[in-house]
Structure 1
Amino acid sequence: MAHAFKLLILAAFLFISLLGSNGERCGTSSIQVQTINTGVAAAGGDTVFEVEVKNLCSCSVRNVRLDGGGFATSMYVDPALFRADDGAYLVNGGEPVAAMAEVTFRYAWDHFFQMTPRSLEVDGQC
């Protein structure tokens, strides 16, 4: 009986671990945002930064939105990759980002902007 109880506790622990702290399997903590100074100067002298938004979740996610910290750019950013949307910034046009996949874009400004995940949706059943 004690062995069955231990197995039940272990199974419950593993289940909770998979769900995460907010009851969801994929949350904003599953999105990694890294900004890299490329060392390149854009026209006008602004520094070019490369942003990598990576889905660390084992599920595909969509409608990934970031807080942009006052984002601005002096160079073109493909709106299919990153655009202002409803008070945040939509990544990949809201389309799915596969598990462990990344979306990368570049912008230019005199300083980098701290970008943090705001929201996402799990794409389908996972």
Structure 2
Amino acid sequence: MASSSNVIAAILTLCLVSQGFCCSLEDIVIGTVRTGAEIQGKPEWKVTVTNNCKCAQHELRVTCQGFQTAETVDPSVFEQQGDKCLVNQGNALNGFASVSFSYAWDPPFIMFPSSSVVDDC
């Protein structure tokens, strides 16, 4: 009986200690929807990057190989750096928060989270 209690206590302790480390790149979700507007003859797309974990993530980069746009994108939200793009100037994207930007091109670019640093929480 005592060994069962020790195992349960160890599991509970491990769960509590590891809660700050539970977030990963898999918690970053990127959604793209067409806005209905056209810029220089290209359809406009709104991209929303969401952190679906309670811990903040910073230095978030997404894949953006070949990214082009017919409209200016605010570099404080989305900055192209070669084949990777920096989101939110590398600042923390807090838990369950989102940041959005729009661009115009055809076809839309498919973006995936590439790297981030998870803050303790």
TM-score under structure 1 normalisation? 0.82
Q: Which runs of 4+ in 1 moved over 6 A?
A: none
Local SS of the residue matching 1:4:
helix
2:113 alignment partner AA: P
Tell which deviates more after alignment, 5-14 or 33-42: 5-14
| 1:100 aligned residue | 96
2: CA distance, partners of 1:59 / 1:12: 19
Residue from 12, 36, 39 that aligns with 2:36:
39
Structure 1 unaligned spans of 5+: none
Local SS of the residue matching 1:110:
coil
| 1:7 aligned residue | 8
CA deviation after TM superposition for structure 1 residue 27, in Å? 1.3
The CA RMSD measured in Å over matched residues stands at: 2.3
| Contact 1:32/1:55, CA 8 A, preserved across alignment | yes
| Contact 2:64/2:83, CA 8 A, preserved across alignment | no
| 1:79 aligned residue | 75
Local SS of the residue matching 2:45:
strand
Residue from 56, 61, 69 that aligns with 1:60:
56
| Contact 1:28/1:117, CA 8 A, preserved across alignment | yes
| Contact 1:69/1:114, CA 8 A, preserved across alignment | no
TM-score under structure 2 normalisation? 0.85
Local SS of the residue matching 1:59:
coil
| Contact 1:30/1:55, CA 8 A, preserved across alignment | yes
1:76 alignment partner AA: T
Tell which deviates more after alignment, 111-120 or 9-18: 9-18
User: What is the CA deviation profile of residues 30-88 of structure 1, one whole-angstrom value per residue up to 9, with x for unaligned ones?
Assistant: 1010000111111x210000000001111111110000142111100000000112541
Change (3 A) 1:95 1:47: same
